[in-house]
Structure 1
């Protein structure tokens, strides 16, 4: 649907991104709860909800394409529209990763996908990643550059937890066997990728606002 002004379209794109982000954050948190609490119905809801996330991405792309076609923006305006397309794609990938986590939980039910020996690390990892995604959605909504720059240090904690998990699995105290280690390796990778997408979304927002990449800023 055609909008009357570029500014109206730009505001609508930002609103749609924020709304999509909230849905994706909910999917990540629900997938984590399904994983750690062995809740198959919750896992099913995450899996069933993925097409709706894909549809939101398509709506954002359609509006952004329409905006470029009608208004031919340049400079900062063009950055904002192109970034909306890229950010929607990043959010869709996070939704896919949440689906993968939910599928892992569902596949193993009624057996636990996370052995008790690794539960504490997975709980902290999932909590940290969920908080990062929530912060990222706030960045998308507000374009707060200072908040966006915090995501890099938040990601350092995810990397540390990732290393802690591998140290546990390859250490002398690991008693849960190879299949459990394979599951945990995949899960850790899913969470690490979600964190990477959160950082990428924040960095893209910094570029939209400032025209510079985060590493070039001195704040």
Structure 2
């Protein structure tokens, strides 16, 4: 797996992340579709493909560690290697969260994983999180720090939907019962954490490019 030069290794690390990112975006999109349309077979496909994402993370880690051991990069190149490690970990966690959504769909049996009265909120929830994932992967590919900064505002809107889900469950109009409320709470958590990892991913990219976190970058 080792390349001849440090630049070769950095290029390969970026290519590996560029391959991994769309897999994670697709995993969430398919998990969301499975949830909203009650498609258990699609959910099972998301679960079955999660080890592929894990394998990409392991390959990035192997090359990153090898690069640091052999080439001993300094300052900016070292930031990029460390960022590749961190981004692969964020992407793997995002894949895990998509798989958790799919697992909820797969294990509910004949009962829909999502009560009908929660469906409109999760239509919005899924669309907003999916858009964040697309944006985060674009940031990862292009190193666009200005685009990265947008994700914090996007996450605020996702958090607002998250609060609306709990307001629904604890409000007087909730009729789906306790087991459904437990599933909805978990599903909301998986969506919210996935969005958080999108922000973390962008933050790591900003650090690689500027040496600063998003909060410290003057835009």
> Could you say which TM-score interval applies, normalised by the shorter chain?
over 0.9
Query: How much has 1:87 moved relative to structure 2?
Result: 0.8
Q: Secondary structure at the match of 1:193?
A: helix
Listed one character per residue, the Cα deviations across residues 141-177 of structure 1 (whole Å, up to 9, x for unaligned) are: 1000000000000000110000011111111111111
TM score, norm. by length of structure 1: 0.98
Query: How much has 1:19 moved relative to structure 2?
Result: 0.9
Moved over 4 A (4+): none
Please provide the CA RMSD for this pair. 0.8
User: Which stretches in structure 1 are left out of the alignment for 5+ residues?
Assistant: none
CA distance in 2: counterparts of 1:104 and 1:25, whole angstroms = 18
**Structure 1 segment 8-47 matched on structure 2, within 5 A:** 8-47=8-47
| Residue aligning to 2:139 | 139
Query: How much has 1:109 moved relative to structure 2?
Result: 3.2
Q: Does structure 2 conserve the Cα–Cα contact (< 8 Å) formed by 1:38 and 1:110?
A: no
Listed one character per residue, the Cα deviations across residues 105-124 of structure 1 (whole Å, up to 9, x for unaligned) are: 01113321111111010111
Listed one character per residue, the Cα deviations across residues 177-196 of structure 1 (whole Å, up to 9, x for unaligned) are: 11111110000000100011
CA distance in 2: counterparts of 1:56 and 1:119, whole angstroms = 33
Check if 1:126 corresponds to 2:126: yes
**Structure 1 segment 1-219 matched on structure 2, within 5 A:** 1-219=1-219
TM score, norm. by length of structure 2: 0.98
User: Which stretches in structure 2 are left out of the alignment for 5+ residues?
Assistant: none
